[in-house]
Homo-oligomer: A and B are copies of this chain.
Amino acid sequence: MHPTVAEPTAPFPASTHDHASCRDWILRRAESLCAEKKVRFTPQRREVLEILAASHRALGAYDILEHMHRVERRPPPAAVYRALEFLLALGVIHRMAGRNAYFACTRPEHGRGEIQFWICRRCGVVGETESVVIAGEVPRLAATLGFQVGAVNMEIEGECQACRGC
Contact = CB atoms under 8 A, between A and B. Distances in A.
B141 A161 contact: no
A146 B134 contact: no
Contacts of A161: 145-147
Interface residues of A, number: 37
Q: How many copies does the complex hold?
A: 2
Interface in A126-166: 127, 129, 131, 133-134, 137-138, 141-142, 144-161, 164
Contact of A156 (B149, B155, B157): B149
Contact of A158 (B131, B134, B149): B149
Interface of A: 11-12, 97-99, 116, 118, 120-121, 127, 129, 131, 133-134, 137-138, 141-142, 144-161, 164
